[in-house]
Structure 1
Amino acid sequence: MGVAVSLPESGRATSQDGSSVSVSKPGEAGLKALADYLAQDMRACNQVIVARMQSPVALIPQLAAHLVAAGGKRLRPLLTLAAARLCGYDNQDGKLRHVEIAACVEFIHTATLLHDDVVDESQLRRGLASANAIFGNKASVLVGDFLFARAFQILTADASLDVMAILSAASATLAEGEVMQMTTQNDLSTSVDQYLQVIYGKTAALFAAACEAGAVIGEATPEQREALRVYGANLGMAFQLVDDALDYAADQAVLGKGVGDDFREGKVTLPVLAAYEAGSEEDRVFWRRVIEDSEQKPEDLDAALALIAQTDAIGATLRKAEEYAAKAREALALFPECDIHSLLIETASYSASRER
């Protein structure tokens, strides 16, 4: 482990470039503080991402440039960088392994987004037209394949069997999660446990792998490695639960994607399951028509939003998210207090309280 740095009473930390970073506020401010603290590492990661997206096939860098322009939180690579630093990685060998693996994590994530948008026929991603809406489904699928290949080139060059095993297993789990979601789509008999298995597979598994890979790079003890894996898994669960709540509770301009997309696609998420369980028989007839039978009228989304509000389905979903965020924070208890520890605690709070 590296030397722990206690936070001063003002709740500020010193970033990699020596500037002061506020870590006193939870939520969005906490995530921004983590990004600011790791700004130097993240700039290096972004440089790797841009460089590795280059190809003599012109369409690949064109589509990649669209993805880079769309931005995003880069939360998963940030977690890899943070986990490595928390475990004492100081890149004295000059190899910047944590940066390369963080870029690999982002490539895996972006590849799945490209494929998911095709499967879901999504038209928006982060407030902009999705790649498939601009370049077509074939190009999106193939560039997604290219990014997966780039990710595994990075893993091969890193030559750590542990890191390779972690991220290759996560990639398989991501695919399983998406297939499982497809099999539960339009099925209101889906249990909450089955739904939680879906969101672990499609989201939380990569959060867990991002953290565990960083721990391996930082030469963590087995206990630290497991703690960071648990942290990432629970943070990812909270993140996806809030994402599912936002589909019924956010403003499209803020959310960056179409509000009600999950509803129109017949996805069975916790807000729907909670509203269905708590609703009257008349309410359940409505849900079976719009979700199971896919018979939707223009006014049905507003009706669904009203039923979700009446049954406190959003509140139930957010409370479940906070349960997972609390487990994430608890998982870090074995690490000594330091700047990066505090920032990761705040990031767990962000995962359950974000608004986009």
Structure 2
Amino acid sequence: MAKTGFCDSIPLLDLHKKVVEERRAPLRALANACGPKERWQPQEGESRGTYQKTEPEARWARRLPVSTDDGIIMGFHEDDSPSHSDGCMEEEAVLIYLHGLQGLYSLQALVPGMLRHETELAMETLGLIYDRSYAWDIFSDMMRSQLRFTFPNADLPRPFTYTTRAILVDWLIQVHEVFHFSEETLYLSVHLLNRCLHQIKVNTAKLQLLGVVCLFLAAKKEECLLPEVSELCFLMENGYSNRQLLRMERRVLTELKFELSHCSPLHFLLLSASIAHCSAKVVWMARYLLELSLLEGQCVVFLAAHLAGAALCLARRVLQEPPTPEGETAWCVASSIHVGSETTLLRIMFIQAGAAARAQSRDTRATFLKYSTAGTMHVSSHPSLLSAPCLLGLPTAHT
């Protein structure tokens, strides 16, 4: 077993401080920005390309909404979607109008259509789509794809424990920071690790090697530039050879049947935050809480949309920003994604609040240090996080 990183996280943290000025610029990705991207707009007389639709009305005759059996989106119908004509009301005016409606039933009746409208705007703002016509289909596919690889329980095979897993994930977060990978790579690597722990029999001596291979495979899928195999072995103090790493990679790909796709909870978080018109600080706080949940072994049984929704809801409670009428209405529309899952969200919030309250005093502090910088608005050092369990009615002493 290599001594650096997995057994002692301090040396790798120091290495990260030394190379922070020399590492390459981050890849532009959805997870690397809270704000909207600047999008190219054609000049007058300039065409977007041959793939542009000539008839905006030419759309699928009937879209497939998310099944109500999923318990996520309910009551949506194609005919309920609002018109996207040029004469429609401005976004803020619509939200203020909805807030002023008399009676909760009137608001609930309009929420499904508003959710579709706001989802299309959010996906376009975040740069996820080029043609808004496909936005709802993409979102529906995201909701379905999170159900592909679910875990019946959070039990780990012997001799591994939640503590062992947390140490490994914390070390992977540090390696991820050293190479300056995108956030999608981190979430995909942890997802692959969770699947491997349930499908592949490995001993303790090969656990670190398995984690590095999962990170390497995630980087191959998400990154443009990859580290050398020898660099990965060097970070493990050459405790494993290049041949051992490549053999483990072949084994992982075989056992997982080359199925490496994953709908990251970070995508759901940024999409929901855009729909809810959350501030940048709320988004960074939610991202911090969501990344803390990667260290919690019991979180593997929850869906990605539920993890994201719980992190965003807890971030709002921790920061206690003054509410506005249009902001509360936008949050009502965003929270309709999780209809029928309030109990599950509360369970996740309890786990995340406990993790945030003890993050500063734990040995696995990579995420805490990562979100204590000015670029992340120092959200991990927010004083309210120490009493976050109390906001949910959970005594701090029990965390």
TM-score, structure 2 as length reference: 0.26
TM-score, structure 1 as length reference: 0.28
Structure with greater helix share of residues: 1
Which structure is larger by alpha-carbon Rg, 1 or 2? Answer: 2
